[in-house]
């Protein structure tokens, strides 16, 4: 059933509802056609059909709001000057008791048309796991370049978390297929970088490129910790991804640390 061409008045509520549910507002529907459809639904004599029109209107308003939010993030990245290649870099896993720290750098096409914006990008912690997985695939497909860098728990213990964090920032930015003209880093500047660098406080909520990097890094590390969970099931890494939850700490005290625990992070928890 094509709601845009058929006479809705002759159709059942169920048929109309099924068709409305199949409308994807993310696919760049003609705004005028959509407005006409919403008006037809709202002017139908049946209350349940009117409700479908109201629901569709809310969905449309939500998409418009999201487009404006994400457009602001892209514009933020463009606001630093006439750069073609702007990278955002972010890390995930600075605080856990186990597993690596992971950084990702992403270069998006910040001059893209509105219909090509990657909707949903945000601080990875504000995005559901399912949505992060979907977005990570889209980001990697649409990115001009991206790179993921990892520092192991052994390196964190030997060199310190600050060293490891900065090292993977450098590696991620310097190892992309395209070398960026500007690097936007979340929170603080990257030490020793030879590319122009601007630090952005809470960058994963302001910058499209940093938000994209945050999501790709988060998905990569979470999936890595799920694999470790198969090897070390007693620590429930699939749930805590290495963070010091009460259940994780209980397991540490019961079983002791495993090979991916950061021993330098455990001195206040375990007595060696």
Per the annotation, where are the binding residues for a divalent metal cation? Answer: 90-91, 186
Report the distance separating Cα 185 and Cα 89, nearest Å. Answer: 5
Asked if 147 contacts 104 with a C-beta cutoff of 8 angstroms, the reply is yes
Asked if 190 contacts 64 with a C-beta cutoff of 8 angstroms, the reply is no
Report the distance separating Cα 169 and Cα 172, nearest Å. Answer: 5
Report the distance separating Cα 8 and Cα 22, nearest Å. Answer: 15
* Phi, psi angle pair for 188, to nearest 5°: -155, 165
Q: List the binding residues.
A: 90-91, 186
Asked if 212 contacts 143 with a C-beta cutoff of 8 angstroms, the reply is yes
The count of residues in the chain is 272
């Amino acid at each position: 059933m094509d709601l845009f061409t058929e006479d809705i008045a002759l159709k059942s509520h169920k048929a109309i509802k099924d068709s409305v549910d199949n409308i994807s507002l993310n696919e760049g529907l003609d705004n005028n056609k959509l407005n006409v459809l919403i008006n037809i639904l709202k002017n139908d004599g049946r209350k349940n059909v009117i409700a479908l029109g109201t629901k569709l209107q809310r969905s449309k308003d939500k998409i418009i709001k999201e487009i404006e939010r994400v457009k602001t993030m892209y514009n933020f990245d463009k606001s630093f000057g006439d750069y073609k290649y702007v990278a955002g870099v972010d890390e995930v896993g600075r605080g856990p008791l186990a597993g690596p720290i992971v950084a990702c750098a992403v270069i998006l096409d910040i001059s893209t048309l509105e219909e090509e914006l990657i909707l949903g990008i945000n601080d990875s912690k504000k995005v559901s796991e399912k949505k992060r997985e979907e977005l990570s695939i889209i980001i990697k497909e649409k990115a001009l370049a991206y790179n993921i860098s990892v520092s192991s728990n052994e390196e964190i213990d030997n060199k310190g978390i600050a060293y490891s964090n900065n090292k993977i920032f450098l590696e991620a930015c310097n190892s992309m297929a395209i070398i960026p003209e500007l690097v936007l880093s979340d929170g603080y500047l990257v030490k020793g970088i030879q590319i122009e660098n601007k630090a952005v406080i809470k960058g994963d909520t302001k910058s499209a490129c940093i938000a994209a990097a945050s999501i790709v890094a988060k998905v990569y590390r979470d999936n890595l910790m799920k694999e470790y969970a198969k090897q070390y099931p007693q620590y429930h890494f699939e749930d805590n991804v290495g963070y010091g939850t009460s259940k994780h700490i209980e397991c540490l005290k019961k079983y002791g640390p495993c090979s991916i625990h950061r021993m330098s992070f455990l001195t206040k928890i375990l007595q060696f």
